Amino acid sequence: MVNTLRDMMHELVIFSGSAHRPLAQAICDNLGVALAPVELTRFSNDCLQAQLQANCRQRDVYIIQPLVPPTQEHLMELLLMIDAARGASASKVTAVIPHYAYARSDKKDASRISIGGRLVADMLATAGVDRVITMTLHAPQVHGFFSVPVDQLTALGILAEHYLGRDLTNCVVVSPDLGNAKTATQFSRLLGLPVAAGSKQRLADDRVVIDAIVGDVAGKRAIVLDDEIATGGSIVELLDRLADAGCTSASVACTHGLFAGKAVERLRHHPMITEVVTTDTVPAPADWPELEVRSVAALFAEAVARIHAGESVSSLFDGVDPSLGPPQPKLFE
C-alpha cells in the first residue's frame, strides 16, 4: 500500500515530446520527479518512431506535449508516445496538452468542412489515452468532443497575479469579442474592474473586423484579455477601435502566446501597447526579450499530483470559479 508522497511519485512517470521540453522539465521539478527520456527517430521514408526509455509497466504515465508548430509533427509524436505507453502495459496514460491547437476547429461553419477538434480527440482516444489535461480551450464545446475525462485548467489566476498589487485606477478589462466576454468578466472580477468587449466579425484566419466597442473605455487604460494570440491581427484591429473610442493605452494578456507570422512585428512596438503578458503553455519567441511570461508549470504539476492521488482538480480554482465570490461586474453597464 502506498503511504508516502515519495512512494506515490515513484509510481508516476513523465515523458515529453519535442514540442516544449522546458515546460515539461519545470513541471517535473515542481513534482520532484525526473523527466523520463524518450527517443524520437525518423525512418528514411520520413515516418516517425517513438521509444519510451523508462519502465511503464503498471505505472501512471503522463505525456506532456502542447500542439504547437509544426503542429502535425507534434501531434504524431504524441500519438506514438501514447501508443508506446499503452503497449508497455502502463496502468493509466494521461496526455498533458497545455495548448490544444485543434480547439479552433470546433464547428461546421461552411459546406464540406472538417471538424478537426473532434477528429483529434477521437485519435487520442483510439491511441489509448485514458485522460487529458489541457488549459483554456478556445471553445467550451471542444470539451465535449472527448470520450475520455478532460481536466481543463485556467491561467486566469496566474495572469491576474501579474496585475494585482499594481495601481489599476482608471483601468478596464476588454475582451476582443463577445464570445470571450464571459471569461473577461471572470477576469475583471478578480481585478475588481469594469469590463468591455469588441464586436468582432472574422473574415479569415488572419483577417477580422471589429465594428464597435461595447462598454465605456473613454479615457481609460485597457487590459486586453484573449485566450490565444496567433498572428495578432485581432488585437491590432481591437487597439485601433479602442483608440477611436478614447482609450489611452493597453496592456495585452493571453494564455497561449503563439505569436506566429508577423505577430511580434505587429505587437512589440505598437504605440498603444505598454506590455504583453502571456504564459509558457507554448514556447516564447526568442526575438522578444521584453515579453512577460508567467509560468503555468506549478499549476500543471499540482493538477498531475492531484489526479495521481485521486483528489479534486476543480478545487484548484475555487477563487477563480465565477460561481464563487462576490457578484461579477456586468458587461455593457
- Tell me the pairing of strands 12-16 and 38-42: unpaired
Q: Can 107 be counted among the known catalytic residues?
A: no
- Report how far residue 292's alpha carbon sits from residue 279's, in angstroms, rounded to the nearest whole number: 8
Per the CB < 8 A criterion, the answer to whether 77 and 46 are in contact is no
For the residues of 235-266, what is the DSSP string, one character each?
A: HHHHHHHHHHTT--EEEEEEEEE---TTHHHH
Marked catalytic residue, from 200, 220, 262, 330: 200
Alpha-carbon 241 to chain mean position:
26
Alpha-carbon 293 to chain mean position:
13
Which H or E run contains 13? strand 12-16
**185 contact partners, CB below 8 Å, separation of at least 6:** 173, 195, 322, 328, 329, 330, 331
C-alpha cell at 178: 463577445
Burial of 138-170, coded b for 16+ CB within 10 Å and e otherwise, reads beeebbebbeeebbbbbbbbbbbebbeeeeeee
- Report how far residue 250's alpha carbon sits from residue 247's, in angstroms, rounded to the nearest whole number: 8
Phi, psi dihedrals of residue 283, rounded to the nearest 5°: -65, 140
**298 contact partners, CB below 8 Å, separation of at least 6:** 30
C-alpha cell at 260: 506566429
- As annotated, the active-site residues are 200
